[in-house]
A and B are shown apart, each in its own frame.
Chain A
Amino acid sequence: MKTDRIKSYLKNRRNLTQIIILAFCIVFPFCNASQYVYRIAVSSVLYAILAMSLNLISGVCGQISLGHIAYYGIGAYTSALLTVNFGIPVWIGFIAAFLMAMVFGLFIAIPTLKLSGGYLSILTLSFAEVIRLILLNWTDVTRGAMGILNIPLPSFFGFELRSSNSYFIMVALVAIIIYIAMSNLINSKFGRNLKAIRDDELSSEAMGINIYRTKVIAFFVSAGIAGLAGAFYAHYMRFIDPTSFISDESTVILSMVVLGGMGNMLGSVLAAVILTVLPEVLRSFSDYRMLVYGAVLVVMMLAKVTDWKSMKRALSKMLDFRLSKEERA
């Protein structure tokens, strides 16, 4: 009976993919691959975390944010500055990054989430640009374009995460926890509220959903997670400067969410991995690189991972500049 249960569990494509990814995360750190390969793996995981966090607000709830990289940057700088300047333990830096990004998320969410989608996308985009300019120009604190050097490595129980594979274990573990938490959220009352808001705000209101509050909570959580990813990035690279937090990165993360399917967390993870690994693999193709890259994207779309209809809907939300509730009704 038990084997039957396992069999039917694995028949589901989603379950199977989850198991494969999990198995990979367990085996991979012991594979003795080169540091270069592990570096790409860590980078993939960080993008996966970012894509999942953005998916919560943009995919599940339909609130398109074009400045998600800002929270990543805020998290990275928060943890880096605290640990470098005040010598506090790195794990406290991680928590601080999470909280600081949340605060900024709230700061941007509160004034914008009552407006329609168009204003949200413009404001998040400009907010990210403001953050980047602050990082670049507030040289007394951020050291501007020179960046922050010698960011300490995290260590747990006296064991320093010096190698890329041990770092991979840490970020993969956190990513898995985040994945589980996100899946729980999606399959619960809270997640259903988010989806309802995405599909129809007016009837959601009639069904008793406090739209504003729900959106703010989602934004809050999403920003915090992105901040945490930023801190992971800072302590991994051990050097950060504002060039890592440009708007193009926000677009990359959003395209991961779109390609993986709006609201589909597993899709986000896969898209993040593919879009990170692919450019590296394609280096050897030199001239044909973009061609192959494009072909892979088309395959992903045709494989129905990408949901065109929801993408179209998201796009129309981004361009929605109606002001009042009555107008939107």
Chain B
Amino acid sequence: MKILDVSNLSISFGGLKAVSDVSFSVEKGSITSLIGPNGAGKTTIFNMLTGFYTPDEGSIIFDGESMVGKKSYEFIEYGMARTFQNIRLYSQMSVIENVLIGYQCRMDTGFFSCLFNTRRKREIEKAARAKALELLKPIGLEKMADERCTSLPYGKQKILEIARALMSDPKLLFLDEPAAGLNPQESEELSNFIRSLVDQGFTIVLIEHDLKLVMNISDYVYVVDHGVKIAEGLPADVQKNEAVITAYIGRGRTK
């Protein structure tokens, strides 16, 4: 079953056509990867899919719902959560508070129940904390829950950002270069973590430059270059594709 169906997505900035006529779809329970050289338009596609940019043309159907024109803060409630290419954690907040933010959209506490600290609010808060700790446990951050997130090593911060998105129980998770800047050991830990997510039934769309990682864990791969989709297919097929090889190696742009 398709959970996301994107067709003819285009956007330009000034004169620059950053993405043109890109179509793709994501199967439920799969890992779909989006690869391409630097500046190909991958992040721009993510930004359109999560409401940060409004596409000039094209449609985005998520779980039967058209998402174009919806506000960016509404997407997570529909079940789309994302991480960012550069870590965007809340630097002055603790580890657990960061994760809790991912759950705000599911917490039914209004302004006045916050103001009066009602019993219902306290119960919801308690349940949310328990859930957050549950999420921190497998990534080994349970003991650091009350420390500032910036005190974590880089690799852990990247994983924490994913945990924050997971807290919202997303139906579809967008990861923008989760392995960027990680050392081999951290990268290994990360790919195991992503794999464990798939085992739990999450659906993931992944942007990644680490091709080894991509080819290892993806079910399906799309390749973009200069804002245009140049190839798609199973990882093994994409690797052999002429156009892909030229895009990557032909111009000496390999990562």
Partners in one complex: yes
- Shortest beta-carbon distance from A265 to chain B in Å: 14
Bound Cα distance A326, B115 (Å):
34
Say if the beta carbon of B8 comes within 8 Å of chain A: no
The stretch of B28-36, B92-100, B180-188, B227-235 that contacts the partner chain: B92-100
B73 in contact with A200 (CB, 8 Å): no
Say if the beta carbon of A191 comes within 8 Å of chain B: yes
Also in contact, A191 and B104, with CB within 8 A (given A196-B90, A200-B89, A206-B82): no
The stretch of B57-65, B105-113, B244-252 that contacts the partner chain: B105-113
B117 in contact with A192 (CB, 8 Å): no
Q: Return chain B residues, CB-CB under 8 Å to A184.
A: 114-117
Q: Return chain A residues, CB-CB under 8 Å to B168.
A: 207-208
Q: Could you say which interface size class chain B belongs to?
A: 35 or more
Across the interface, name the chain B residue whose C-beta is closest to A217.
B111
Q: Return chain A residues, CB-CB under 8 Å to B82.
A: 206
- Shortest beta-carbon distance from A18 to chain B in Å: 16
1/0 per residue A178-199: CB within 8 Å of B? 0001001101111111011011
Bound Cα distance A200, B109 (Å):
22
A195 in contact with B111 (CB, 8 Å): no
Across the interface, name the chain B residue whose C-beta is closest to A62.
B92
Say if the beta carbon of A204 comes within 8 Å of chain B: yes
Say if the beta carbon of B76 comes within 8 Å of chain A: yes
Also in contact, A199 and B91, with CB within 8 A (given A189-B114, A192-B101, A193-B104): yes
Say if the beta carbon of B171 comes within 8 Å of chain A: no
Say if the beta carbon of A203 comes within 8 Å of chain B: yes
Contact of A195 among B72, B88, B97, B164 (CB under 8 A): B97
A208 in contact with B105 (CB, 8 Å): yes
Residues facing B in A203-220 (CB within 8 A) are 203-211, 217
Across the interface, name the chain B residue whose C-beta is closest to A197.
B90
Bound Cα distance A160, B74 (Å):
52
B76 in contact with A195 (CB, 8 Å): no
Q: Return chain B residues, CB-CB under 8 Å to A217.
A: 111
- Shortest beta-carbon distance from B123 to chain A in Å: 13
Say if the beta carbon of A202 comes within 8 Å of chain B: yes
A191 in contact with B114 (CB, 8 Å): yes
Also in contact, A188 and B114, with CB within 8 A (given A195-B93, A208-B76, A310-B92): yes
Q: Return chain A residues, CB-CB under 8 Å to B76.
A: 206-208
B97 in contact with A192 (CB, 8 Å): yes
- Shortest beta-carbon distance from A267 to chain B in Å: 15
- Shortest beta-carbon distance from B147 to chain A in Å: 15
Across the interface, name the chain A residue whose C-beta is closest to B114.
A188
Also in contact, A188 and B92, with CB within 8 A (given A208-B74, A208-B77): no
- Shortest beta-carbon distance from B108 to chain A in Å: 9
Contact of A205 among B73, B102, B164 (CB under 8 A): B73
Residues facing A in B48-96 (CB within 8 A) are 50, 52-53, 71-77, 81-82, 84, 88-93
7 tightest Cβ-Cβ pairs between the two chains A and B: A208-B105, A188-B114, A199-B90, A208-B76, A203-B88, A190-B114, A184-B117
Would you give 9 A-B contacts (Cβ < 8 Å), ordered by A?
A187-B117, A189-B125, A196-B101, A196-B104, A200-B90, A207-B104, A208-B75, A208-B105, A209-B104
Q: A188-B109, A192-B93, A192-B100 are known; give 8 further A-B pairs, CB within 8 A.
A: A181-B116, A185-B115, A189-B125, A190-B109, A190-B114, A200-B88, A206-B50, A207-B105
B-side interface residues toward A, CB under 8 Å? Answer: 50, 52-53, 71-77, 81-82, 84, 88-93, 97, 100-102, 104-105, 107, 109, 111, 113-117, 121, 125, 164, 168
